[in-house]
Amino acid sequence: MVSNLWLGVASIIIGYFGKRVINLVQKRKCAGKTPATYYFVGYGNIINVFLPRIPWIFAGHNVEFEAKHKPFAKAGQDIMATFSFVGPQPISIRVADPVAIKHITTSRARFPKPVAAYRLLNVYGENIISTEGDKWKMFRKISAPAFSDRNNRLVWDETVRIVSELFSDVWGDKDSVSVDHAVDVTLPIALLVIGTAGFGKRVSWKEDALAPQGFTHTFKGALHMVSNHTRIKLLVPNWVYRFSKRLDRIRCAFDELELYMKEMIEERIKSEKVERHDLLSALVDSNISEDGGQVMTEDELMGNIFIFLLAGHETTAHTLAFTFALLALYQDEQDRLFIDIQSILADDELPTYSQMPLLTRCMAVFNETLRLFPPVPGIPKFSAEDTILATTDSEGNTVNVPIEKGSACTLAVAAMHYNPKYWKDPHAFNPDRFLDPNWPRDAFLPFSSGARACLGRKFFETEGIAILTMIVSKYKISIKDDPKFAGETFEQKKKRVLQTKYSITLTPVHIPLVFTKRG
């Protein structure tokens, strides 16, 4: 009896692996002569979230960024395949060719988003990231007006106020401020900005109010807890939370932020028409249908504002952390930026929104950081039909790559950003490349492109430029000394400080900084 059971189990396992082998052979045949890499556990498998890259075994959680353009250079062309034995997709077509990527992003029906991979983001409701088709069109139509010039002006003004309060209320009269990790500064700033410009609820550094009756957390506290623990909420099943006090506090914060959002939505709907420019108010206003009803449900409204919170808060904070690290490593570039800011701002003058177009070197520094550290190194798509993508090989010959219906397609953003064909000395930090009017715009994709390009790009840029301008104008940034690394070379220091990991977006591991007040 036992032997029969084991025989049955063995037959099932052999049958499963046999089908996978046959499937892989068929997929390899369909891909023709397309250069490929191979993994036992490939792209899209949840196991990779927790594991480093091991050649031939695991693709790893940060493979797109760590590999950059190397696999494509080895393949001799900018479209290649990755085959895996275990995973939701046995084949993933990776694309680092700007022309082919433009074709994909402008052909939404042929290359839609794999929405099933984004269902975890439906924490409060469906949203613009996790949907496709008519529902996505509806979300975009309602959301787009929220990202207006008036909202951008609010973002700028509130960012300047928040950083000014950091200087006066937190850093005070200190000549220098040390932080163990750059995100200890950038995350709180981004949190306070999204509180005001996202929710219309002004919060400050020193807010220490008691939570309202019936709440455990203040709005700021709930927002802080949610923004810092979204990964846990996305990955840990709900039934696990009751077994841990820490997890239960996280669950409580998510529940209470939902209550806060419901109260704010209800207040906006019922209140008299008052001119507000925060995202939540703009979404509520544009959600009113012609007959006076609501187009989106309350859950969908909350789902979208949560996505804007998550994307805007984390992306800004991490990109700024990388920016500060690069400026601290490359002091000559920091000096050039400071001189440029000085030429625009008078002594002790706060930067204004109208001056943003003048801060071209700030924007160049920011763009160069985004090129080197794209928030999403690989953007997933899939092919809805059999098709062909064209690229050129290293000798300039046209190569047609067959794409089978249902194949996963990854826009290899990091690979394109590090491609020497478009970026001279691509591993170098060189903001000047973005001051050249002819810089290769099609080879720069930190916010995706086409119809699904990031709606919040201007919000993100406005906040980032305001923070960068304020801090560099008042403080010199340097890497915090550590006796453990006294003998390291510049390249060793650079490698240590610029370590990354990948979770929801590309994340700095540990950037210790010192901010020294300028004389």
- In whole angstroms, give the CA distance from residue 52 to residue 67: 12
Q: What is the mean pLDDT of residues 254-278?
A: 81
435 pLDDT more than 70: yes
Domain membership flag for residue 26 = no
Domain membership flag for residue 317 = yes
Contact between residue 247 and residue 241 where contact means Cβ atoms under 8 Å apart: yes
Domain membership flag for residue 399 = yes
pLDDT computed for residue 370 by the predictor:
97
Q: Are residues 351 and 413 in the same domain?
A: no
pLDDT computed for residue 415 by the predictor:
95
For 36-47, give the DSSP string: EEEEEE-TT-GG
Domain membership flag for residue 19 = no
Sign (positive/negative) of CA torsion 306, 312, 317, 318?
positive
- In whole angstroms, give the CA distance from residue 162 to residue 164: 5
With both helix axes pointing from N to C terminus, report the angle between 298-329 and 360-372 in degrees, rounded to the nearest 10.
Answer: 100
Q: Are residues 367 and 394 in the same domain?
A: no
Q: Are residues 296 and 398 in the same domain?
A: no
pLDDT grade for 50, boundaries at 50, 70 and 90: low
- In whole angstroms, give the CA distance from residue 389 to residue 100: 6
pLDDT grade for 145, boundaries at 50, 70 and 90: confident
Q: Are residues 194 and 315 in the same domain?
A: yes
pLDDT grade for 295, boundaries at 50, 70 and 90: confident
Domain membership flag for residue 240 = yes
Q: What is the mean pLDDT of residues 37-61?
A: 64
pLDDT computed for residue 457 by the predictor:
87
- In whole angstroms, give the CA distance from residue 193 to residue 463: 8
445 pLDDT more than 70: yes
Domain membership flag for residue 83 = yes
Annotated ligand binding at 454? The verdict is: yes
pLDDT grade for 48, boundaries at 50, 70 and 90: low
Query: What percent of the chain lies above the pLDDT cut of 90?
Result: 39
47 pLDDT more than 60: no
Three-state SS letters, 327-338: HHHCHHHHHHHH
Question: 49 is in which domain, residue-wise?
Answer: 31-121+381-417
Place of tokens 């859950």: 299
427 pLDDT more than 60: yes
Burial label, 10 (beta-carbon count in 10 A; 0-12, 13-18, 19+):
exposed
Q: Are residues 371 and 385 in the same domain?
A: no
Query: Mean pLDDT in the chain?
Result: 86
Partners of 500 in the beta sheet? 508
Convert the pLDDT of each residue in 146-174 to its tens digit.
Answer: 888 999 999 999 999 999 999 999 999 89
434 pLDDT more than 80: yes
Domain membership flag for residue 50 = yes
Question: What are the distances in angstroms from CA 436 to CA 196, 343, 364, 441, 469?
Answer: 35, 20, 10, 11, 21
179 pLDDT more than 90: yes
Q: What is the mean pLDDT of residues 300-306?
A: 87
Domain membership flag for residue 61 = yes
Q: Are residues 205 and 253 in the same domain?
A: yes
Q: Which CB contacts under 8 angstroms, 24+ apart, belong to 21-27?
A: 21/85, 23/90, 24/83, 24/85, 24/90, 27/83, 27/90, 27/91, 27/404
Structure-model confidence comparison of residues 159 and 2, the more confident one: 159
The CATH code of the domain that includes 356 is 1.10.630.10
Q: Are residues 332 and 221 in the same domain?
A: yes
Q: Are residues 468 and 336 in the same domain?
A: yes
* Number of separate domains in the chain: 2
Report the SS3 class of residue 507.
Answer: strand
Q: Are residues 244 and 315 in the same domain?
A: yes
